[in-house]
A and B are shown apart, each in its own frame.
Chain A
């Protein structure tokens, strides 16, 4: 009985330590600037934000993985990238399986949400719009690119059956040649609000000065 107990306790400890380590690493990376190989990261912050014309995406043929972050939620992951006919795509496999349901939340979130995303390649960030592609002859090109680069990860059949989801990393509407949306889409603050804010600030300063005066007078009175 005692031996059995000791063996079970030892197994418990052997399982506990790696589990705690993995959970801690997962926790540590959640707000990290980008993902690690195994764990998703947080918002992509560092790196120059690309503005200007669309690059020649053929350079991505030599890039094994990119960092991809959705605008909402802002966690990021490493992901394969496919280039076909001057456009770039990312995929998510196992979508019809339980594993996919547990593992590939980002694809569901991208498809259900607005699809706004940021990717980082070689230290440069690009703002993109994820657009799901699930039919059409373009899938042949994507499947061929995938096969050539990664050994047939995404076949047209798998994409059309919904087992693999493919998203085009399209330029955001009207933004490919402009400033980032975070700044450019900010609405101007109405003058009324600015003047109200000034009034509130002035009132706060006056109240603070009055309070200080009262305290000083009280202190003077105590000293006398």
Chain B
């Protein structure tokens, strides 16, 4: 993949991720739960 296409892909993925987090509450909850699980497992 060329650098230009790669950056376009990154921008598109970032936009889709942000929109999902902002407008699909279950996605936001799932991500937060996943983070919490990760931190509670690995912290300390």
Contacts and interface: CB of A to CB of B under 8 A. Distances in A.
Interface of A: 5-6, 9, 12-13, 16-18, 20-22, 24-25, 28, 36-39
A25 B31 contact: yes
Interface residues of B, number: 16
Interface of B: 1, 6, 9-10, 13-14, 17-18, 21-22, 28, 31-32, 35-36, 39
A21 B13 contact: no
Given A6-B1, A38-B32, A13 B9 contact: yes
Given A13-B9, A24-B17, 4 more contacts: A17-B14, A21-B31, A36-B32, A37-B36
Given A22-B35, A28-B22, A38-B36, A16 B28 contact: no
- The listed residue with most B CB atoms (<10 A of its CB), out of A17, A21, A24, A39, is A21
B7 to A, nearest CB: 10
B27 to A, nearest CB: 8
Contacts of A16: 10, 13-14
Contact of B18 (A9, A12, A18, A24): A24
Contacts of B9: 13
A6 B6 CA distance: 10
A202 B1 CA distance: 68
